Structure 1
C-alpha cells in the first residue's frame, strides 16, 4: 500500500462536498508530475485530503477506489488521467500547514518542498504522524 496527499481549494471542492458526494473523480490535473503520481495510485491506497489556499490543512482521509483512466475533462488529450477516491473519515483536528512546517519529522514532506504539486506521495512515517496529529 502507498500513501498520497491530494490538494483542493475548499471553495472549489472541499471535504464537505466530497463527503456529501461520496465518491470523486479526481480530474483536471494538468501537471506532468502530479499526473504521473495519479498513474502510480493503486486500489486501496490511502490518501490525505488537504485544503489549500484558505486555512491550509489536512482535513480528512480517503482511499483509492478506481485506478487511473483517461480524464473525461480532456477527451481529446490522452496524456491526462484521473483516479476515483472515496472519503474514509474526517480528521477530528485538522492538521494545519503551520503545524506541519513546525514538525521536524515532516521537514522533507513534499507539501513543503513541492508546495505547488497537487498530487504527491507521502512516506509511511509522514502519513502515520499526520494521522496522529489529526487525532485519528
Structure 2
C-alpha cells in the first residue's frame, strides 16, 4: 500500500480540525506534479499530515484517503483563494479528494528532526528546494518516521 505526505497550513485545515470533523475535503492543490500524486492515491492509502507555514512545521499525525479524486470545486469558485480563472466545469485541471482522521501525534514531529535523520535523506520533504504539498513516502521512510514519534 502506498504511503504519502500531505501539507496543510493549520489555519486552513489542521490535524485537530480533521480529528473534530472525522472527514474533510483536501483541495487547493495547484501544482501539476502534486496533483498527479493526488490522483495516484487510492482509498485506504495512509498519509502523514504535515503542518506547514506555521511556527512549528512538522508531521502532526496520520490520515487516510477516503475516496477517489474528483474535480476540485474551489477552482471554479471566484470567492475561493484557490480559484483558477482558466478552469471551467467542462475542463477543470485540478483534483480534490476526501480524507479521514486516523491519529494525532502527541507532539508535532519537527521538520528539523526529520532533516537530521540519516535514514530520511531521500525523503522528498527534506530535499533542498522541495516545496510540493503532496508527495510519496517509501515504506522504509514511513516506518522510520513512525519510530521517531
Q: Do the structures match in fold with TM over 0.5?
A: yes
Shift of 1:131: 1.1
Structure label with greater radius of gyration: 2
Paired residue secondary structure (1:50)? strand
* Count of equivalent residues: 134
Alpha-carbon contact 2:16-2:104 (below 8 Å) kept:
no
Q: CA RMSD in A?
A: 1.2
Higher strand share: 1
Unaligned runs of 5+ residues in structure 2 are 77-87
Q: Conserved in 1, the CA contact under 8 Å of 2:115 and 2:121?
A: yes
Q: Which runs of 5+ in 1 are unaligned?
A: none
Q: Which residue of 1 aligns with 2:130?
A: 115
Q: TM-score, normalised by structure 2?
A: 0.85
**1:16 partner SS:** helix
- Cα drift, residue 34 of structure 1: 0.5
1 or 2, which has the higher helix percentage? 1
Q: 1:94 aligns with which of 83, 88, 108?
A: 108
**TM-score (ref. length: structure 1):** 0.93
Matches within 5 A, 1:49-60: 49-54=49-54, 55-60=56-61
